[in-house]
Amino acid sequence: MRLRVSSKSLTRLTGPVALASLLVAAQAHAALAQQPSAVPVSVATVEAREIDTWDEFSGRLEAVERVELRPRVAGQILNIHFREGALVKAGDSLVTIDPAPYAAEVERLNGLVGAAEAQVVFTKADVERARKIIGNALSERELDTRANAYDAAVANLKSAQAALQTAKLNLAWTEVRAPVSGRAGRREITVGNLVESGPNAPVLTTIVSVNPIYASFNADENVVAQALATLTPEANATARVEQIPVAISTPVTADQWRRGTLQLIDNKVDVASGTVRLRATLDNTDGRLIAGQFVRVRMAKPRTAPIIAITERAIGTDQDKKYVIVVGKDNKTAYREVKLGTMADDLRIITSGLSAGDRIVVAGLQRVKPGDEVAPEPVAMNGRPLAEEHAAADKSSATAQQ
């Protein structure tokens, strides 16, 4: 017996099935559309680094050379050739004292030297003539007298020449010149005034050198002892203090630090304060550092084991806690509380909470939350692309080797 099914009956059977299939497919598509996509973020790998950490002190800038310009001869001030506050070079004429009296003295002594030279020539010839006739018409006593006259003439010539040299020096000193290069201070005396020489000579101006410049500061004796303990003694048993890194910052430059070279650790401890006087040398080619200026001084602490340091952009704040977002091997994020140390080389030292090899989010922190899946883009800790950072490191290394 055959079962016959009409087309109309088949349509009635398949219609609900097709509709159900369409509903299931639509729901699956909607579920896929609602599924969140991975958030793109910049991720850096945490590394243990050799980083300088610092002790900070208050200090003052000092000129390497400071000169009070005083006249070496007396007289009237005729001209002042420098501008207050201007840079001057060693040897520049700054002040002119009336040279007329000293020029006249040079002329007078020139005449005396000429007369003394003539007297030497005459007495020498007289002695030579006397020696030719000695024993006939001239006694030994007379020869000795003429020889003594010649010796006296030579001595008088030397005295006149020395006096002339002194007069020429005095004449040259009427041009008061800068003994060092630096910045001139204010004028302490004006044209027309009479000035003395010697101990009572007035200060005409002061000159302070500009480049390099010193930064002087006091450091705790224990800090200094720890720094010295890290240095390798030389053959003469003295440590090379310039190996200790230092840097300074002014109130204007704030957190922009200028590196310098430690030049001096004093030879004694101040018993009253328990500190040691130190001095660093700094490049001041741009002339922005001024003697007497207040500065903050950093001196590097002795290096210990490599430390963890990360960019501050990777650090979030949760009430009174600090945290970072760590990316796991499955590219899912996790909340990690961290303890912060000081800043070093533009990075924040992490004292606990992170280990070398951890991956952390350094850009896009606000776009993710713990448990999110992310699409990590590897970057350097400062946020630069890895290729660019490697190229910069290679260039820096090549420069250091030259």
In the chain, the domains with their CATH numbers are 39-51+305-394 (2.40.420.20), 55-64+211-300 (2.40.30.170), 69-97+175-208 (2.40.50.100), 99-173 (1.10.287)
Residue 227, pLDDT score? 83
- CA–CA distance, 263 with 278 (Å, rounded to integer): 8
Q: CA distances (Å), 151 to each of 131, 154, 200, 376, in order?
A: 15, 5, 40, 101
Percent of the chain clearing pLDDT 70 (strictly above):
83
Residues 6+ apart with CB under 8 A from 336: 323, 324, 325, 326, 353, 354, 358, 360
Over residues 127-178, the pLDDT tens digits come to 888 787 766 666 778 878 888 999 999 999 999 999 999 999 999 999 999 9
Residue 393, pLDDT score? 52
Three-state secondary-structure class, residue 169: helix
Three-state secondary-structure class, residue 52: coil
Percent of the chain clearing pLDDT 90 (strictly above):
52
Are 247 and 259 in contact, with CB atoms under 8 Å apart?
A: yes
- Mean pLDDT, residues 341-352 taken together: 83
Over residues 20-44, the pLDDT tens digits come to 555 545 554 544 445 557 788 899 9
Q: Give me the chain's average pLDDT, please.
A: 84
The answer to whether residue 345 scores a pLDDT higher than 50 is yes
Residue 69, pLDDT score? 94
The answer to whether residue 391 scores a pLDDT higher than 90 is no
The answer to whether residue 295 scores a pLDDT higher than 90 is yes
Are 80 and 58 in contact, with CB atoms under 8 Å apart?
A: no
Query: Would the CA dihedral through 205, 209, 213, 216 be positive or negative?
Result: negative
